[in-house]
Homo-oligomer: A and B are copies of this chain.
Amino acid sequence: MATHRIGILTGGGDAPGLNAVIRAVVKYAVGKLHWQVIGIEDSFNGMLDAPRRLHDLTPRSCQGLLHRGGTILGTTNKGDPFAMPDGSGGHTDRSGELAAAIRAEGLEGLIVIGGDGTQAIGLRLMDTHGIPVVGVPKTIDNDLSATDLTFGFISAVETATDALDRLHTTAESHDRVMLLEVMGRDAGWIALWAGVAGGADCIVIPEIPYDADRFAAKIKERRMRGRHFTIIVVAEGAAPKDGNTLPSEVPHGIGTLHTASAAHTLAKLLTERVDVDVRTTVLGHLQRGGGPVAFDRVLATEFGVRAVELINAGQWGDMVRLNKGKVTSVPIRDAVAEYRTVEENHPLLAVARSVGIEFGG
């Protein structure tokens, strides 16, 4: 069997399981197949500083990685080599320099672990400069339609569900509405799954613009039945319908604090409609941090091994994915095409409504 020398990098935001993918690639490719695997720091950026920010990865250097959150390679979403910030506000195309560095280091190709943005860069490197790439999808929001699930998502859902469990115990002692804001700018998957798993009374997702009156009605209806608390999970990208008066004093875009706005907007709309004490928790980066749950470790390991198999089979240009319960692959070109959002006819949405959850629209 031929040997190979390949690079591996992680791009975009963190997701629990990134290290487990890296470990699986190295354990298989280096430990079993005796290839060389070079870790590249901070997504494509590290390659531009080669060889300073490259690392020869070995099974030994990957010890203890399986359950560790984050990524040992570092990551960034500030590094499109086709449009690198030039320090003076403009951008420069450094993709040729990047391709040259990859060739100078003797790398046959790259395993690119990242979301649709990172995958698109990898594909463009392949198309423009002939650098072979294999993709491993990473999206904690689970919004990539080419794969049924990605590692990290179930871990994020577990974190959000645990938070809902905690809020339940304290909400039940008081007369109170508890809002939990979770990740999901464009797709409400985390909110939907965690809301079902954590027994939320209302789920607010970007796909369903909400009428705050319906949540107010839910709160009142619960009180009528002697339930003096309501738990609401809100995706960060959720927004009210037109016609809901937006409270003018809600803060927008204070530095990096804008993620707080979905829950705070809803809190304001609710307190205008019901005389109730509303408490807000913003999970933020707690969802990206921490080690992966067992499910995600298995999935990440499968993805890592499959990526090596793709290279072994010469299937450059493909991305691994989970499809109907099996780990297979698909051309990156087809994979990055479109987002998967919560469609109105999705079965879990119907299930959620069947157990009485209000979506506000």
Known contacts A250-B254, A279-B256; A170/B288 CB under 8 A: yes
A249 at the interface (CB under 8 A from B): yes
Residues of B with C-beta under 8 A to A64: 168
Chain copies in the assembly? 4
B75 touches A174 (CB 8 A): yes
Residues of B with C-beta under 8 A to A36: none
Please tell me which one of the listed residues B68, B196, B268, B348 contacts residue A255 in the complex, with CB atoms under 8 A apart.
B268
A254 touches B268 (CB 8 A): yes
Please tell me which one of the listed residues B66, B76, B173 contacts residue A198 in the complex, with CB atoms under 8 A apart.
B66
With the chains together, A163 CA to B166 CA distance in Å? Answer: 14
**Interchain nearest-CB distance for A23 vs B (Å):** 8
Residues of B with C-beta under 8 A to A351: 24, 301-302, 305-306
Query: Could you say which of A107-115, A125-133, A202-210, A290-298 contacts chain B?
Result: A290-298
B355 touches A173 (CB 8 A): no
With the chains together, A178 CA to B284 CA distance in Å? Answer: 10
With the chains together, A194 CA to B158 CA distance in Å? Answer: 18
A70 touches B305 (CB 8 A): no
A347 at the interface (CB under 8 A from B): yes
Query: Could you say which of A88-96, A116-124, A236-244, A320-328 contacts chain B?
Result: A320-328
Residues of B with C-beta under 8 A to A284: 279-282
**Interchain nearest-CB distance for A192 vs B (Å):** 9
Please tell me which one of the listed residues B14, B256, B282 contacts residue A173 in the complex, with CB atoms under 8 A apart.
B14
With the chains together, A294 CA to B159 CA distance in Å? Answer: 9
A301 touches B69 (CB 8 A): no
A174 touches B255 (CB 8 A): no
Residues of B with C-beta under 8 A to A260: 260, 280
A70 touches B170 (CB 8 A): yes
A52 at the interface (CB under 8 A from B): no
List 3 A-B pairs, minimum CB-CB distance, nearest first: A69-B169, A166-B289, A197-B294
Known contacts A170-B288, A254-B268; A294/B157 CB under 8 A: yes
Q: Which residue of B lies closest to A293 (CB)?
A: B158
Please tell me which one of the listed residues B10, B154, B327, B347 contacts residue A347 in the complex, with CB atoms under 8 A apart.
B327
